[in-house]
Structure 1
Amino acid sequence: MSMTQSADGTEVAYERRGDGRPLILLHGGMAPREYWDTVVPHFDDFGAVLPRRPGFGTCLDSLETTSAADVLDRETEYVCSLVDAVDGKSILFGHSFGALTALETARDAEVEAVLAYEPAILPDGFREQADLADRMEQLIKDGQRCEAVKRYIETVLHPDGIDDLEGWLAGWPVWPDCVDLAEEVVRMNRAVERYELPTHFDIDAPVLVMSGTDGPAFLRKSARDVHETLPHSRFVEFDGVSHSGPGEAPGLISSEVTSFLDR
């Protein structure tokens, strides 16, 4: 495990696998960096960089006072530190909140390309009514941490409903450990609910924006909206793939990514 430090002094732990072009993999809201374990083997020509996001794992205690307003700035600062720390020009591959972080980082950092799977950006109409952070926060205050995390799963991962949530959770590798992250997820969701998509993303690097036909409708719309704000982008939608796309269909998505990067 290697260490670097962001501009605000936050220590960032990361692992590098392989010696090829650096591919920084940024996981989403409830997923640990181990989310990418099934993805990395499909990128054996790259040097995969797997950071542990601040607020996850051993970094959690030092970030308990981070406000929602500071979350995205904190995220982009740590990714910028990774871009500076690794040898070679980095490619950023982000999923969900990690995709939003990748896009925001690329506005300032010089990167080779950005790969963004369903960035955690809410369409205006949806954003104005979003209250997931408030609902989760109230459940935590009421001592119902597990229920708070379940609300996140139902809203983001299964917005069309799920017949057997308990059965699904029993097979989810990060449950129930992710319950410890409830406060961090509240801060992250509040940051997402306050974020407004710019009318123009000033990103010089080429961007591949991806979505799946089985993902939440609001994130599918946002993915297309993001594509339209970018000067150099390609949009791809994968049939039958959900919001968990990279981990769910790594072969399919890595093939599209590799083709994009080779152009």
Structure 2
Amino acid sequence: MPTVGHMTAGQYADVNGINLYYEAHGEGRPLVLLHGGLGSGEMFGPVLPALAQGHRVIAVDLQGHGRTADVDRPFDLGSMAADIAALITHLGLDHPDLVGYSLGGGVALRAAADHPQLIGKLVAVSAHARTDAVYPEMRAQQTQLTGAAAEFMKDTPMYELYQRVAPHPEDFPRLLDKIGAFMAEDFDHTDQVRALRVPTMLVAADADMAPPSHYVELFALLDGGARDGGWAGEGRPRGGHALAILPGLTHYTIFSSPLLATAVLAFLDAPA
């Protein structure tokens, strides 16, 4: 993963029954960064220099992704959130902020819900909370993903990345099978969102995989949009929560946009 001007060697942490790969960049308050499905921490290369100015960024490769080998368990947000909680404890991080995109956003939300005592602030990017929030045509594609698609994905950046960095490049069809099975399951995490007790910012593109109205709905679960914010911010959501809909972006461009870095840093660096 590129840092400011050079490459940095990563490390592994044997936690929660998995050998998690991570890279540390920058200095300052810790920030754990979680990538999207079929990706790795390298996805954030264009915005990492900005995030690492004033923060110690811990970019993690989730189960079966990037440089982290798969283990004998299905993809499950609870298990992956437990991996992150164990990594935070293993590294001795003091209430790090969590920033996750797509799959990583779901993992970050679950980690903040299950392990709030470990977390500072949370930023969940392009992470919808209900199956039916996704556009029907996208939902149809998600439910059809299997390892059989590997042959047709050989010219994609996801395949190239996996072949370049994965401990077992031949496992790409297995990754597709697992993530396909994960996406085929119906879910509704609205109760977990409503119960969040750490300051949370929900972020989405204005042309994301789910409509902006879905993220506004989730913001309302966090006391957002209930009243005028007031001259001094006295009417803002209780708990320090926020919402950002970023213009001109999609689910497939938001993770590398300077707008994302600007929004994330504004939220994380604001007084609690």
Instruction: Confirm or deny a common fold (TM above 0.5).
Output: yes
**Higher mean displacement: 102-111 or 118-127:** 118-127
- Counterparts of 2:60 and 2:19 in 1: how far apart (Å)? 11
Does the C-alpha gap of structure 1 residues 188 and 86 become closer, same or farther in structure 2, counting only changes over 3 Å?
farther
Does the C-alpha gap of structure 1 residues 226 and 190 become closer, same or farther in structure 2, counting only changes over 3 Å?
farther
**Higher mean displacement: 226-235 or 102-111:** 226-235
| Distance apart, 1:25 and its partner CA | 0.5
Does the C-alpha gap of structure 1 residues 227 and 86 become closer, same or farther in structure 2, counting only changes over 3 Å?
farther
* Greater relative contact order structure (CA < 8 Å, 6+ sep): 1
Match of residue 184 from structure 1: 175
| Distance apart, 1:100 and its partner CA | 0.7
- Number of residue equivalences: 231
Stretches of structure 2 that go unaligned for 5 or more consecutive residues are: 1-9, 164-170, 224-238
Match of residue 103 from structure 1: 109
- Equivalent residue of 1:35, what SS? helix
Alignment map for 1:7-86 (pairs within 5 Å): 7=16, 9-43=17-51, 44-60=53-69, 62-63=70-71, 65-68=72-75, 71-84=76-89, 85-86=91-92
Conservation of the 8 A alpha-carbon contact between 2:133 and 2:214 = no
| Distance apart, 1:185 and its partner CA | 3.8
AA aligned to 2:257 is A
Does the C-alpha gap of structure 1 residues 204 and 134 become closer, same or farther in structure 2, counting only changes over 3 Å?
closer
Does the C-alpha gap of structure 1 residues 125 and 81 become closer, same or farther in structure 2, counting only changes over 3 Å?
closer
**Higher mean displacement: 36-45 or 224-233:** 224-233
| Distance apart, 1:213 and its partner CA | 1.3
- Equivalent residue of 2:218, what SS? helix
- Counterparts of 1:255 and 1:123 in 2: how far apart (Å)? 29
Q: Calculate the TM-score normalised by the size of structure 2.
A: 0.73
Does the C-alpha gap of structure 1 residues 59 and 239 become closer, same or farther in structure 2, counting only changes over 3 Å?
closer
Stretches of structure 1 that go unaligned for 5 or more consecutive residues are: 151-165
2:199 aligned with 1:215, yes or no?
no
Q: Calculate the TM-score normalised by the size of structure 1.
A: 0.76
Alignment map for 1:134-149 (pairs within 5 Å): 134-137=143-146, 140-141=147-148, 144-147=149-152, 149=153
**Higher mean displacement: 23-32 or 191-200:** 191-200
The percentage of counterpart residues that share the same residue type is 18
- Counterparts of 2:103 and 2:211 in 1: how far apart (Å)? 11
Structure with more of its chain in helix, by fraction: 1
| Distance apart, 1:176 and its partner CA | 3.3
- Counterparts of 1:199 and 1:127 in 2: how far apart (Å)? 21
- Counterparts of 1:208 and 1:18 in 2: how far apart (Å)? 23
- Counterparts of 1:125 and 1:116 in 2: how far apart (Å)? 16
| Distance apart, 1:117 and its partner CA | 0.8
- Counterparts of 2:87 and 2:135 in 1: how far apart (Å)? 30
- Counterparts of 1:125 and 1:258 in 2: how far apart (Å)? 27
| Distance apart, 1:73 and its partner CA | 2.2
Match of residue 266 from structure 2: 259
AA aligned to 2:127 is P
- Counterparts of 1:54 and 1:90 in 2: how far apart (Å)? 20
- Counterparts of 1:2 and 1:219 in 2: how far apart (Å)? 38
| Distance apart, 1:108 and its partner CA | 2.3
After superposition, the C-alpha distances for 1:87-116 in whole angstroms (9 at most, x for unaligned) are 322000000010011000001222110011
After superposition, the C-alpha distances for 1:4-39 in whole angstroms (9 at most, x for unaligned) are 2333x2121211112211111100012221111211
